[in-house]
Amino acid sequence: MFDYRPAADLLAGRTILVTGAGGGIGRACSLGLLAHGAHLLALSRDEEKLASLFDEAEESWPGRCHIQPVDFSQLNEAQCARIAESVDDQFPALDGLMHNAALLGTRAPIEFYPEAQWREVMQVNVNAAYLLTRSLLPALAKSADARVLFLASSVGREGRAFWGAYGVSKFALEGMMQTLAAEVGATTSIRVNSLNPGATRTTMRAAAYPGENPASLPMPETLLPVLLYLLGPEGRRVHGRALDARDFSPP
């Protein structure tokens, strides 16, 4: 695992938005960003988990955690515009956008995959990421050193049977990352990458692999060194890359 020990103020002065911040990797990342000086905008559909995150953040980093409940299955252009307006009203720029929210859906052959669930997974995992990114690009462009990071999956880099909409959606995110990176790389300070966290002890992982012993998997907090590097100042050297957290090494 990447050994990186950043200063406690690594992200001081930076504002970073994390989707799916209520639990798992999103929550661990959110607390790690706050611990290293960032202002956090935390989005999740689970209001109870968001409130818990806010309460914990207020105890240690008062005034730096901002939460907003968002149902990504219903997210539309108008809602994204309101989120962008809120960012503009509160901050001079957006310095990071981490797309972590995702829906697993059914694991089944495409032949038998339920159409309604296919649409829902694509909405949460792909369409919502597109709409939110598009709305927030002006705020990201105002930053002197911005990041967009898509959380990826190994099943979105090599097709695997029965992963259905989830696997296809992760392939789509890789394409979105590459397209966006090519568009903004030469004209803005925005750096765009995808990161496959690998096997991690989360609720989604347990649902996908019910026979697996969760205790055998690393905790979400073990991803923090890579995430902090990519979202911090040194991450400006990494752009347009499909990365794997478990074997990451800086350029």
Domain assignment of residue 91, yes or no = yes
Domain assignment of residue 5, yes or no = no
- Predicted local distance difference test score (pLDDT) of residue 23: 94
Domain assignment of residue 95, yes or no = yes
Domain assignment of residue 1, yes or no = no
Domain assignment of residue 224, yes or no = yes
Domain assignment of residue 103, yes or no = yes
- Predicted local distance difference test score (pLDDT) of residue 204: 83
Model pLDDT for residues 88-108, shown as the tens digit of each residue: 999 999 999 999 999 999 999
Domain assignment of residue 7, yes or no = no
Q: What is the mean pLDDT of the chain?
A: 95
Q: Domain residues for 202?
A: 15-244
Which CATH number do you get for residue 223?
3.40.50.720
Is residue 209 pLDDT above 90, yes or no?
Answer: no
Active site residue 4: no
Give the active site residue among 130, 166, 209, 229: 166
pLDDT level of residue 165 (50, 70, 90 thresholds): very high
What does the H/E/C string look like for the chain?
Answer: CCCCCCCCCCCCCCEEEEECCCCHHHHHHHHHHHHCCCEEEEEECCHHHHHHHHHHHHHHCCCCEEEEECCCCCCCHHHHHHHHHHHHHHCCCCCEEEECCCCCCCCCCHHHCCHHHHHHHHHHHHHHHHHHHHHHHHHHHCCCCCEEEEECCHHHCCCCCCCHHHHHHHHHHHHHHHHHHHHHCCCCCCEEEEEECCCCCCHHHHHHCCCCCHHHCCCHHHHHHHHHHHHCHHHHHCCCCEEEHHHCCCC
Domain count, the chain: 1
Domain assignment of residue 201, yes or no = yes
Model pLDDT for residues 5-35, shown as the tens digit of each residue: 999 999 999 999 999 999 999 999 999 999 9
